[in-house]
């Protein structure tokens, strides 16, 4: 008999397709799991709407649920419920350990250039805040590129959203 | 369509207009502009801008897809059919986004600045929609767009004293809210954009 707990455990083993050290549960994109009559309903919110990992995540969730012997029903919820604040503390630590600076907390009024250009962002390698914005945009929609003047290492900063 | 439409369909979701009436022009704008922005991939004047325009394009196309999704639920169709199976004359995008501006960087940045300002206004309107799904999606789009606005304003500040940029703004500004006849270059874009769907039946986004 599939329980919600078993489903959460199974989903927690699915790596983010673009940042494999972190799982999709760490990432906070699984909003809800309910089980009824052998069907598992998952509410899933994309990170960025243009994220190409969306389909991969959805298909992998469905496959894991089938492995548990249940029928998947993965609903993609296109509302505002995902935010980088939903990344778990474990997820933030895994990001940092893999060289991705975790996102700053979300603030009222949204991001501002002056804030992105400030020294409030820590280098994930050496911990220095002597870092500067190189590009608001990066290799995926969720990341910016920064440079650390202390250890002279470029790094990727998760955008706050 | 499942719901009976009022005799004079309202053009505002705030007053119960249909999703198709309100969202299709926005979705079409985002899809076509996303396509145009992606034309800078690999050839932008700086590597940073190559990455920026590619990323912005990806976001805009993602917004288009999500908006088509909401319209598709109402019309009983799919986002793919709305994006790729309509005839050119059925698209509701503005000629402003249809312009092919490569390799003119000043005009590209001028359109980027003008578009992001206009887009911000309509997204803020959608935030007030009485359709909770539309308001919810608008909130998500708005947060992603915040980064596009930072980028466009940064470029505005950087180029504002450059005559070529000012001329581009003057030339393009009257087109921002223009709707109607498509430009001839839209036909060519449509050909490229829909080629996969026209040649491979059932291909998905």
Tell me, what's the ipTM? 0.93
> A133 to chain B, minimum CA–CA distance in Å?
11
Task: Tell me the per-residue pLDDT of B81-108, one tens digit each, with 9 for 90 and over.
Answer: 999 999 999 999 999 999 999 999 999 9
Share the mean pLDDT of chain B.
92
Residues A79 and B139 sit within 8 Å (Cβ to Cβ): yes
Of A48, A134, A135, the CB nearest to B144: A48
Residues A34 and A84 sit within 8 Å (Cβ to Cβ): no
Q: Does B48 touch chain A (CB under 8 A)?
A: yes
Is residue B6's pLDDT more than 60?
Answer: no
CA closest to A159 among chain B residues: B147
Q: Report CA torsion sign: B99, B21, B129, B173.
A: positive
Instruction: Quickly count: other Cβ atoms within 10 Å of residue A127's Cβ.
Output: 11
Using 50, 70 and 90 to split pLDDT, how confident is the model at B11? Answer: very low
Mean pLDDT for the stretch of residues A39-61: 94
DSSP state of A109: T
> A113 to chain B, minimum CA–CA distance in Å?
6
Q: Determine the Cα–Cα distance for residues A3 and A30; give it in Å rounded to an integer.
A: 16
Task: Tell me the per-residue pLDDT of B173-205, one tens digit each, with 9 for 90 and over.
Answer: 999 999 989 999 999 999 999 999 999 887 887
B70, B60, B82: which is closest to B132 by C-alpha? B70
Q: Does B144 touch chain A (CB under 8 A)?
A: yes
Name which of A48, A50, A77 to mutate to probe chain B: the one with the most chain B Cβ atoms within 10 A of its Cβ.
Answer: A50
Q: Determine the Cα–Cα distance for residues B101 and B120; give it in Å rounded to an integer.
A: 22
Instruction: Quickly count: other Cβ atoms within 10 Å of residue A53's Cβ.
Output: 21
Task: Tell me the per-residue pLDDT of B20-71, one tens digit each, with 9 for 90 and over.
Answer: 999 999 999 999 999 999 999 999 999 999 999 999 999 999 999 999 999 9
Residue A71, SS3 per DSSP: strand
> A33 to chain B, minimum CA–CA distance in Å?
20
Do the Cβ atoms of B144 and A138 come within 8 Å? no
Is residue B5's pLDDT more than 70?
Answer: no
> A119 to chain B, minimum CA–CA distance in Å?
18
* Look-up of token digits 């703004």: B169
Q: Which domains does chain B have, with CATH numbers?
A: 16-199 (1.20.1260.10)
Contacts 24+ apart (CB under 8 A), B80-88: B80/B197, B80/B203, B80/B204, B80/B205, B82/B24, B82/B27, B83/B27, B83/B31, B83/B205, B84/B193, B84/B194, B84/B196, B84/B197, B85/B194, B85/B197, B88/B182, B88/B186, B88/B187, B88/B190
Q: Determine the Cα–Cα distance for residues A56 and A46; give it in Å rounded to an integer.
A: 11
Task: Tell me the per-residue pLDDT of A89-115, one tens digit each, with 9 for 90 and over.
Answer: 999 999 999 999 999 999 888 899 988
Dihedrals phi, psi of A43, to nearest 5 degrees: -95, 125
Do the Cβ atoms of A78 and B153 come within 8 Å? no
Q: pTM for the whole thing? A: 0.93
Largest CA distance in chain B: 53
Q: Which domains does chain A have, with CATH numbers?
A: 4-76 (3.30.300.130), 100-158 (no CATH)
Cis peptide bond prior to B175, omega within 30° of 0: no
């Amino acid at each position: 008999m599939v329980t919600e707990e078993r489903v959460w455990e199974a989903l927690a083993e699915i790596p983010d397709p673009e940042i494999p050290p972190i799982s999709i549960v760490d990432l906070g994109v699984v909003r809800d799991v309910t089980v009824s009559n052998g069907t598992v309903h998952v509410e899933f919110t994309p990170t960025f709407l243009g994220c190409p990992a969306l389909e991969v995540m959805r298909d992998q969730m469905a496959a894991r649920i089938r492995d548990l012997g249940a029928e998947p029903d993965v609903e993609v919820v296109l509302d505002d419920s995902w935010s980088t604040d939903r990344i778990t503390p474990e997820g933030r630590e895994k990001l940092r350990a893999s060289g991705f600076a975790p996102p700053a907390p979300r603030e009222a009024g949204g991001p501002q250039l002056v804030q992105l250009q400030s020294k409030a962002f820590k280098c994930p390698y050496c911990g220095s805040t002597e870092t500067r914005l190189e590009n608001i945009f990066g290799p995926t929609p969720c990341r910016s590129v920064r440079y650390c003047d202390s250890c002279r290492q470029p790094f990727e900063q998760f955008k706050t959203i | 369509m499942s719901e009976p439409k009022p005799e004079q369909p309202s053009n505002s979701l705030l007053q119960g207009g249909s999703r198709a009436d309100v969202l299709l022009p926005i979705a079409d704008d985002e899809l076509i502009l996303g396509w145009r922005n992606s034309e800078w991939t690999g050839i932008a004047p700086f590597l940073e801008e190559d990455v920026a325009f590619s990323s912005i394009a990806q976001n805009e196309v993602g917004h288009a897809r999500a908006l088509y999704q909401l319209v598709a639920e109402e019309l009983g169709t799919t986002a793919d059919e709305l994006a790729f199976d309509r005839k050119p004359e059925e698209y509701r995008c503005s000629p402003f986004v249809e312009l092919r501006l490569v390799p003119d960087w000043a005009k590209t940045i001028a359109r980027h600045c003008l578009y992001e300002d206009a887009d911000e206004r309509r997204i803020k309107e959608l935030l007030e929609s009485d359709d909770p799904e539309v308001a919810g999606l608008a909130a998500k789009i708005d947060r992603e767009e915040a980064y596009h606005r930072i980028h466009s304003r940064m470029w505005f500040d950087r180029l504002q004293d450059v005559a070529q940029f000012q001329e581009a703004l003057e030339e393009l500004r009257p087109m921002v809210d223009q709707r109607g006849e498509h430009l001839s270059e839209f036909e060519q874009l449509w050909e490229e954009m829909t080629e996969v769907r026209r040649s491979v039946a059932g291909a998905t986004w």
